[in-house]
Structure 1
Amino acid sequence: MRNMVIQKLRKLILGDIPLRISNIEEIQNSHYNSNLRALEEIKLYYKRIEEDSTARSVEVQKYCTENILRNEQRIKFMEDKIEKQVVAINSRIDAQEVSVYLKSLLSAEIMISDLYLENILKEPIRRDKIPHSKSLSVGYCCNMANNHYLFAHILNTHGYEAKLVYQEQFQDNSIFNHPAWEVLDEEFESIPTSKALKDKIEHHEFVISAKWDQNVCIYSPVTLNERALKNFLYQERFNFSDLKKMLLINNILPHWDLIAKLRQFDLLQVSGLAIALAPFTGRPYVTFPYGADIFDSAMEDSTMGRLMRLGFKMASGHILSGTRFGALVHELQMENVIYLPYMCNTRIYYPKDESEFRDELERKYGKGIFLLMPSRQDWEVKGNNKFFEALAKIENKSNIRVFCINWGSDLKRSQELVENLGLSDLVFWLPLLAKGRLRKYINACDVIVDQFNIGEFGTTAIEGMACGKPVICYIDKAFEKFCQNPPVLNCKDKNGIISILNLIINREYNLNSIGSNSLQWVRQNMGIDALLPKYLDFYKKAIEVGPAIWLN
């Protein structure tokens, strides 16, 4: 078993680099000695705190003050138990006692790696220069709402080497991030599992699967050896021996397979938690934040929050698809920033005749003006409640048909609101729609309803415009200027929505003309022909900036 593990790791990480570990005892001794050094590191840390507390940041001082007594107890506990580790690995002793000890060891490692991250975030960045290459290969990671699947699809269809590195067990575990979701023409009464979709789509040559090794997350006598071995291999690959760096590596060991597969590309584009992992690849990368990753995850007072901030700082560039991200550029130490809209795949989203499907919907729901609200039911972000409340105020609304999808944190609230407002005969709840089926609904409906709170496009709004449909949504002044005045039916509050709905009902809008303008606008501002050259140019500049040097 040991030889199989070593061979597998050599193949993934080291390639042809010779492996110097010869037996399991050496691995055990290496980890045992690391723990002894960890204990000394903790003691020295508290000594420094006592000698010069002003040298630490306010945040760290507060952290240390609140936890110093508990950690002093932990140090004593480690002193009492550390001699038992080799015994614990090689013999049967009380499992609960071992578990308590290992948890204390993990807490100590987290504390040291957090302090190390705090120091790195204060240091200037050194960068490596990569020799110029005529070719360009791009790896995309974290497939939020299939955005990176579509990027990889676009680059491949234009002759570039690009792949989505897909981590189904961890950051891509949502069905909405599964590549199959983008192409299936199906409806689902409940959220399907990724496993249920595996047989529904053929393998794409530009999608690579990466494993998440959750066993490495758990401290146990078995996994201690594997953690120590991987630390040793990482030391060989990046040529460092600093204890703090070794302990920091433990945070990303479960993603070992993902990091190894990302290293094959000239450049990476990362979102979500992949931003925290990208610095460990040694490759130049650009961030492409989608929202929660920059506004929430990167702001956490946790190891993950620090790793996210590290990821933003060490990046070779940043592509921001909206003006709201700009507020955090300085705070997250982001350099080489460009504002580029989301690139819509206009080869997939385009006007298509769905008259037969429209006839089918009319037979089921009646004729009228069809409005589609594909966005999730989330009152804080999307403001769906504003739309329903506005619709209730419309007097002549009998020919309106509104189609909403059964998903979102406020789904039940929205359904109850619709019923209480007496709109149940006008608002119809559809099952979950895979994107292939959603495209049919978009092309069969007359108007797309997006969001009324955040002031920027949702993805489905752009896709609706690419299909030649008018879009009702709220676009703030800053984003409107950034996006070159998109021809949307712009409104934010209930009165604004009422006004637009009345104009639609009374046929005072030429919806076909607005839809045609929307299509042309998307192609000129967010389409492949307009944006792909700009993305590729920025990729090349990011490669020239080079990856950050910090692990050696």
Structure 2
Amino acid sequence: MIKPKRCDVLIVGSLINNDVIIAEALSKLGISCIVARTTSCPKFESASLPIVLKFFSQTDIVTVKSTCEFARLIMSASAILTFGGTVTSFFGRLYPIVTFFPLPPILNVATGADLSEMALENTLRGWTYRRLLRKAQWNVIAAHPMMFDAVVSLRLNNFLFIRHPYAIADIEIRDGCSAKKDTDTAGSVVYLHPSNLDWGATDTGGHRRTFKRNDLFLKAFIRALAAGADVRCIILDRGPDRTIARQMINASGRADRFEWRNRVDSAGLVRLIRQADVVVDQFDVGGLGGIAIEAMGQAKAVMTFIDEQACSIYYDDMPPVINCKTEDQIFEQIMLHSDRNKIAALGQRAWEWVVSNHRKQSDVRELAVRIKLAGRGGWRLTPLASNGGR
């Protein structure tokens, strides 16, 4: 067995390649990174990223085949960066006692329902995650009000507000319209609904606290069609309430304006976003999710709900999205956004905002210093020169 090489931080939790994206951002600052994935994770394909890796080498992505192999990998790292507590899952059936092991310092990145739901469950996995949250050196949380509520409920004080890095490509804008649009929709405004169809009708467990509330969007969209709006919707067949969603659409008599697609991988999602004018996310959580950031990074208008007070903790200015929460508000916004050129201009502003707040990655410098301090490696950073995209 080959001895793992030493590194400043071991990153675990693929989450649509966020492990590799944050490894690239940290590597640029001179933090040596290893990314660990299980055999069940999809093989990393560099073509699935909108950027070229210039500082992190994909040869440092390690596929872990056993608990013993992962344990050796952990002990070669000065710190661990884990998404949603994923580090415990690498230990299989031993996961409930992992937090009792002598692990390197842990920095945990909360991803959403892991903190707002799982951490509050009266289950073994909930108990395990609560132990990890308290054992962690720091927990990085996003600008979601329900995450803040969970922090209060759990009485956590080891948390950080750091904006996650995202891989945001350069987008060519022509005459106010994104050059990334793949198809001509003959004037119809195309909505893409890629998020889980989930409003608590089917998955009603007592642990549920966050929903997409996209039933409100479907009702509003059907109302807009009845009112004469020239719109159509590409909708992914995913989420616990997808069967009920089909029933709603079929009963409306306007099923011809909906195009169902199967679930897609990250590369497939990018292609779908390019076909849309507006990308629809959620109307309950109150914060930007990965789908919204991905769409804004492709210069697309996003329809979602943002809690302004929570957002102001992270950002100096509100993200330029179509911000709505109720069925009536969604209906009104669909009716107001009938001009595709104006929608494209909103997408351009969204791209500019997300580049300023998530591609420049000023917050990653603080995360890098905290990783160095946690691993007792001093605090000075030594940024690297580009490797040219190896």
Task: Give the structure-1-normalised TM-score.
Answer: 0.56
Match of 2:44 among 163, 174, 179: 179
Match of 2:112 among 291, 305, 311: 291
Q: Deviations over 1:482-539 (max 9, x none)?
A: 343111111001000011001012x398223211211111111222433332322332
Q: Deviations over 1:44-70 (max 9, x none)?
A: xxxxxxxxxxxxxxxxxxxxxxxxxxx
Q: Relative to 1, partners in 2 of residues 1:157 and 1:386: Cα closer, same or farther, differing over 3 Å?
A: same
Match of 1:406 in 2: 237
Match of 1:210 in 2: 64
Query: In 1, Cα distance between the equivalents of 2:337 and 2:72?
Result: 54
- Superposition map of 1:175-324 within 5 A: 179-180=44-45, 183=48, 204-212=58-66, 255-274=67-86, 276=88, 277=98, 280=101, 282-323=103-144, 324=146
Match of 1:5 in 2: none
SS at match of 2:59: coil
| AA at the equivalent of 1:353 | A
Match of 1:480 among 288, 311, 323: 311
Match of 2:383 in 1: none
Match of 1:154 in 2: 25
Percent sequence identity is 21
Q: Relative to 1, partners in 2 of residues 1:434 and 1:353: Cα closer, same or farther, differing over 3 Å?
A: farther
Match of 2:384 in 1: none
Q: Deviations over 1:68-115 (max 9, x none)?
A: xxxxxxxxxxxxxxxxxxxxxxxxxxxxxxxxxxxxxxxxxxxxxxxx
| AA at the equivalent of 1:326 | F
Q: Is the 8 A contact 1:465 1:522 kept in 2?
A: yes
2:193 paired with 1:384: no
Query: In 1, Cα distance between the equivalents of 2:84 and 2:76?
Result: 20
- Superposition map of 1:430-441 within 5 A: 430-441=261-272
Quote the offset at 1:269 in angstroms. Answer: 0.9
Q: Is the 8 A contact 2:198 2:213 kept in 1?
A: yes
Relative contact order, higher structure (CA 8 A, sep 6+): 2
| AA at the equivalent of 2:79 | L
Match of 2:165 in 1: 343
2:345 paired with 1:513: yes
Query: In 2, Cα distance between the equivalents of 1:417 and 1:269?
Result: 42
| AA at the equivalent of 1:267 | A
Quote the offset at 1:160 in angstroms. Answer: 3.9
SS at match of 1:261: helix
Quote the offset at 1:398 in angstroms. Answer: 5.4
Q: Relative to 1, partners in 2 of residues 1:265 and 1:528: Cα closer, same or farther, differing over 3 Å?
A: farther
Give the number of aligned pairs: 345
Match of 2:179 among 346, 353, 370: 353
Query: In 1, Cα distance between the equivalents of 2:289 and 2:172?
Result: 17
Query: In 2, Cα distance between the equivalents of 1:210 and 1:148?
Result: 15
Q: Is the 8 A contact 2:13 2:37 kept in 1?
A: yes
Task: Give the structure-2-normalised TM-score.
Answer: 0.77
Q: Is the 8 A contact 2:29 2:368 kept in 1?
A: no
Q: Is the 8 A contact 1:181 1:435 kept in 2?
A: no
| AA at the equivalent of 2:130 | R
Query: In 1, Cα distance between the equivalents of 2:47 and 2:248?
Result: 31
Match of 1:502 among 294, 310, 335: 335
| AA at the equivalent of 1:308 | Y
Quote the offset at 1:463 in angstroms. Answer: 1.0
Q: Deviations over 1:319-358 (max 9, x none)?
A: 1123432333355464442112332211488877345x31
Match of 1:166 in 2: 37
Q: Is the 8 A contact 1:389 1:421 kept in 2?
A: no
Q: Is the 8 A contact 1:350 1:468 kept in 2?
A: no
Match of 1:234 in 2: none
Q: Is the 8 A contact 2:9 2:81 kept in 1?
A: yes
Q: Is the 8 A contact 1:285 1:317 kept in 2?
A: yes
Match of 2:188 among 337, 351, 368: 368
Match of 1:415 among 243, 246, 255: 246
Match of 1:453 in 2: 284
Q: Is the 8 A contact 1:470 1:511 kept in 2?
A: yes
| AA at the equivalent of 2:71 | I
2:325 paired with 1:325: no
Query: In 1, Cα distance between the equivalents of 2:197 and 2:172?
Result: 25
Q: Deviations over 1:349-398 (max 9, x none)?
A: 8877345x314xx4xxx551111112122224111211110011124445
Q: Is the 8 A contact 1:350 1:466 kept in 2?
A: no
Q: Relative to 1, partners in 2 of residues 1:184 and 1:274: Cα closer, same or farther, differing over 3 Å?
A: closer
